[in-house]
Every structure is written in C-alpha cells, then in structure tokens.
Amino acid sequence: MKPVWDRLRRYFGTLHPVGLAFALVFFVWSMTPSLLPRAWYLQGVATGISLAMGYALGTLIAWMVRKCGVEPKWSERTKKIAWWVMAAAAVILVPLFLVLGSWWQQIVRDLVAMPPANQANYLLVLIISLFIWFILLEAARGLRFTTNRLTQVALRFVPKEAAKVASLVVVFAFGFFVINGALYNGLIAFANWSFSGADNETPDGIEQPLIAERSGSPMSPEAWDTLGQEGRTFMGSGPTAEEISQLTGREAKQPIRVYAGRESSDSIRGVADRVVAELKRTGGFDRGTLAVVTTTGRGWVNEDVASSFEYVEDGNTAIASMQYSFLPSPLAFIADRETPQVAGRALFNAVFAEWIDMPVETRPKLVVFGESLGSYGGQAAFAGAQDMMTRVDGALWVGTPNFTTQWQEITNDRDSGSREILPVIDGGQTIRFAADPEDLELKADWEDDRIVYWQHASDPITWWSFDLLFHKPDWLREKPEGRDVDPGMTWIPLVTFWQVTLDMVFSADVPSGHGHNYGEDAADMWANILHPATWTPENTNQLRAILTTNVEPTK
C-alpha cells in the first residue's frame, strides 16, 4: 500500500498548482445545468474534459507569466499555506457541487417531462471525471514528449529555434493528416463499408408492401432488399387511404411513397434519377402535392412528419426520398457533412427538372421537408431564402443543425427585437419559426407559400456550434429563455461547448416536444403550412392522438 501511496504523491507533485486551481474552478462550472438532462456517466465525461481544459488554461497562463519575466519567489511556508487552502477549497466545493449538480439535473428533467433519476449515482461523477482528466493529461504530456524528442533529433542538423519550429510543424502536420487527410477519408470509406452490412436488417413488424404506390413492392423496379433498413421501414409504414378516410370522413387516395437505396446506383445522382423514375411509374407527378425529402444518415425519415403530410392532404400526395449513406446519423453529423448537401441538391434538382417542364395548370404543389441532417442537406438545394420561396410552395425544416448556412443567414437577418430561438422574419409573411404550434400565430398575414422552421429551445442539435467555445450566443443572452430551458443555464467559456456537445448524445431520448424529438406537433405544422380548406382543427386533434401512439425507429 505504501509504494502505491508514494507513487501517487510523486505523481501529484508533478502537477502545476495554478493548473490545479483552474481545474477546480472548471469542475464547479461543469456541474451547472445545460439544455438537457445528462446521465451521470456523461456528466463525468463533461466534467473530466472541463478539468483538463481548466488545468491546461492554468498552466498556460503560468507559462506566459514566466515568459514575461514575472516569477515570484514564494517561501516554503507560503507555498504550504497555498496548498492547504486549495485542498480545503476542494474538500468543500467538490461534494457541494456534486450535490448541486444532481439537484440542477432534476430541475432540467422536470422541464422536459422526464422522471427523476437516482441522485446517488452522481457520486460516481468524480471517479469518471478524474479518469478522463488523467487520460487527457497523459495524452498531452505524450505530445510534449514527442515534440521534445523530435527537437533533439533536429538539433543535430539545424539551430535550436529552427529545431523547435520543425518539431511543432511535424506534430501538427501529422495531426492534420489524421483529422483531415487521407487517413480520415480512408476511415470514412471503411465506416461506410462496415455499416453497409448492418443495413440489411429489417425491423420487426415491417413487411414488404404489395401495392404499386410503394417502392420495393413486386411492381417496383426498386428491389426490396436494396432500399436499406430505413428505406424498408419507410416503405412499410404510413397510413392507408382507408385510415385517412376514417379520420377525415372524406374520400382519400392511397399515398404514394417512392424511395431508392444507396446501393441501387454507383452515384448519388444515379440514385436520384431512379427516384424520379419511380415518381413517373407511380403517377407521383399527377398528385395534388409532391414532397421532396432529404433523409438523415442511413436514410431515416420522421414517420410522424411524413404521415401528417399525407393525412392533411387526404392522401393526394407523393413523397420522394432516397438513401445517400450507410453512416448512422451521429457519425455522419460529425464526419461527413458534404454528402447530405450533395444528396439534397441531386434529389431536388432531379425532381424539379421534371416538375418545371409540366404545364403550370397540371403541376402538383411542390413542398420540401427534412429533419436534422435532412434539413441541412435539403436546404443546400437552394441559393437562399428567396430562391426557396420562389421554387417551392411550402417547406418544413425540422431540428436544423446550427452549421446550416441558410438557417444561419435567415436567423441572423431576423426582425429587430425577436429572439434567436424564435426569429421573426419580415413580420412572418412567408417564413416562420416555431417550437410549439402556437408560435406560428403572428399578427402579419401569412402568404400561401409557407416555410416553417420547427426547432425546440432545448435541442442541442440546433444550438451546438464551435462558437460556444469562446462566444456567448444570443440564445443564451436573450430573455426569456425557451419554456423547457433552465433559467439557471449560463454560458461559460469552453465548458458550455462540452456540455452542449454531450447533450447531443441522447438528444432524441426525451419526451416529444423537447430536445431533438419532434412528434405529434407535426400535425399542426402541416395543417398551417398546407392549410387545405377541408381540414379542421378537430382533424388536427384526432391526428395528434394517432401520432402520440406511434413508436419511431432509431435514426
């Protein structure tokens, strides 16, 4: 036991006191509330990263002070007092903020209608955070050791300062190669290949359709096995004409859904062309309203959004969509932001090219929708808000990621006095933002061609950005906060970024109407966007009741 204790004391002696002081401050900050409830193990990860950042910042400041020629000569007595003060502060603050952190998490859980969690688990946060901090600290020391060794080698050939610069260049060049070079591209290709195998499964309860209005049916050239897991789920779901009529009391048509899987063609453009061929085969261009949908990751479409669209239009609809990747959404969100845009442009442009050649009097209404990466990719088909308003008759963009250029431009150009979480654009004449259906009710008259951005104040997918590292966003500065955001949430440099980053992990695992879970409110959204004369508020309530019972597959 004594040798272990001696090793711990020696290791602790290698730590910088200023770094430790900053790490303690960052520990306290990391326990503050964020957008969504965090499981205790995710809180441990967030706290561990915060400890590492605080320690790094403290040691950096101390190094800069020394470089400026300021190096106080503290007496041994003063040093000992400082160590005891910091130890006492840790003994008080660490357990205090573990308790406060668990309490704040309960408040956030109440705001998003989640049941209470076992607060005792928060005691494990300290263990996990210290482990994460240790790993990151040793990784940083490993990089420093590598740089120093490279410097020693370079000293044989060049002067000292040049050797230091050369070693840094080599280390950073290697890091760039790993992060953004050939190795990165190779890993993405390998990941696509790996996940393509898992794409062969079909969820329980999903069966091959036997009607001509569906891709993957015996009448379709798109083989059932080629649609991918999410494509088969989408083609095997949705309301029938009879179910729509049962709700509305009116005659309805069988909704058309067409889809092509990624393996159906060697190129994304080729997949899009196959979707258009399916629209022609099924008569999709002869329906009253045609929707072009960009999917997320492996081809997921929000069933609540899709079926609401079909109900509201009495089934006189066609939905065109396709799979563009084998990567799950979280991995695609991080690693591949180019392919969703390529797919969004390819599919919309292929459909639009056929649609625009039709006689004006026989064209269906053209609408677009997409969620998350689907919203991001779908908006890439348009040069800007004006282009979108010109080329479509309606749009529903759901849970749009913060890095979506068009969303950023529209949000930044919002009317003075409106908040970032619910921007008002030109009084709401065409574009409106909503977290809840009532947010669509503005004083201005709403034109017939309506675009809705549906986003929750507690959705980390919408608010996550690298800007959070050093910049306080408007959505945390402006008051009041969203209805499901803790007023106690405060922007803290570096810390808030990692809090929101980890909020994304289970952002869809909260009740509908919060986080990244968009469900039955789709009925209200489409009723407002399409505003058909025959649709009634009672129909909306009936549809909401149906959607509430739906269980969606994992993205």
Helix (H, G, I), strand (E, B) or coil at 258: strand
Distance CA 8, CA 247 (A): 69
From first CA to last CA, the distance across the chain in angstroms is: 49
pLDDT of the residue at 146 = 72
The parts of the chain modelled with pLDDT lower than 50 are: 179, 181-184, 187-188, 190-191, 193-195, 551-555
Residue 549: how many other CB atoms lie within 10 Å: 7
pLDDT of the residue at 471 = 95
Strand runs labelled E in 237-373: 256-260, 289-294, 317-322, 365-371
Global pTM reads: 0.86
Q: Cα dist. 25→9, 128, 425, 555 in Å?
A: 22, 17, 41, 37
Query: Cβ(265)–Cβ(274) under 8 Å?
Result: yes
Q: What residues are paired with 256 via a beta bridge?
A: 318
pLDDT of the residue at 553 = 39
Instruction: Render the burial of 49-81: b for 16+ CB within 10 Å, e for the rest.
Output: bbbbbbbbbbbeebeeeeeeeeeeeeeeeeeee
pLDDT of the residue at 151 = 63
Query: Cβ(482)–Cβ(464) under 8 Å?
Result: no
Start-end of H helices in 216-267: 228-235, 241-248
